[in-house]
Structures are given as structure tokens and as C-alpha cells.
Amino acid sequence: MTARDPLRDPWRPAMREALARAAAATATGDVPVGALVLGPGGPDGEILGTGHNEREATGDPTAHAEVLALRAAARRLGAWRLTDCTLVVTLEPCTMCAGAAVLARVDRVVYGAVDTKAGAAGSLWDVLRDRRLNHRPEVIGSVLAEDCGRALTDFFRAR
């Protein structure tokens, strides 16, 4: 992970946008995870695609926020390679989503809350930095981690 001052973190506005997307998931009983793909320009890049969990809403086990955001960005660009793009997500990606980020060739993955039960960006597994793979995006973790974690805790507490 990249060391940074959490109060001056340039990724905070993008993570706030991802948190807003996560809130939409709760309306359908989905776990509040939100994601977006930013184009070139780092934290100031244009939003190319967004998503929030829709597994309950659609009955699709692959309808994770990250996958939906990557699909939307690829449609928008007309290409599956999302080089120079950043995936921002409120929860550390699972193995499926980390694999999708690698396959999409995103340059960086920025996440909020750590997922010690299913995280694949360094917690349980480290798919994103696995040297055996042909692409390894930069990983920036724990951006607005408390806010992202609170959204999940509040959701599960209410259930």
C-alpha cells in the first residue's frame, strides 16, 4: 500500500462518490458496496462507469459493484482494456473482483474497508499483486475506511 496522509488523501472525493453508490444497494437488500472507474488523470479522472451490488436485485452472483463498474467503463470506452484507469471501491475486492481488475488491466485499485473474510487485495489473499499474473495494478487501501466500514456495519446490524 502507498503511504499517505489520510486527511489530505486525494482519493477521498472519489471514495465519497463510491459510498453514495453503495447506499443505493440497500434499497434492494444488497450489501452496500459501491464502485466506480475513473479514467486517466488519477483522482481527478472522469467517471467512466459506476456500480453497486445488485446480487439480490438481479439474482446474479457476479453482480458485484466492481464487476458492474468495470463493465460500464468498458462499454463506454468500447474496449475491455481499461489501461490508465482506476477502480475505486468501498470494500476490499474479493477474488472474483480482484481477478476482473487484473484482467481489465486497470492501473490502480483504491479501496475503503478491509475485508478480512474475503479480501483479495492483501487481507486474505493478494490476487492484485500476485507476481505470477501478467498484470499487477497499484493498490491503495483504507481510504475513508471508517466510513466505508460503518456503512457495512450499519447494514448488517439492521438485519
3-state secondary structure of 148: helix
Pure H helices in 42-110: 55-58, 65-77, 95-104
Residue 135 labeled ligand binder = no
Active-site entry in 17, 66, 92, 146: 66
3-state secondary structure of 138: strand
The reply to whether 138 belongs to the active site is no
Residue 64 labeled ligand binder = yes
- The CA-based dihedral angle spanning residues 68, 73, 76, 77, taken in that order and rounded to the nearest 10 degrees: -140
32 burial level (CB within 10 Å; 0-12, 13-18, 19+): buried
Residue 97 labeled ligand binder = yes
Annotated binding residues for Zn(2+), written as ranges, equal 64, 94, 97
Residues belonging to the active site:
66
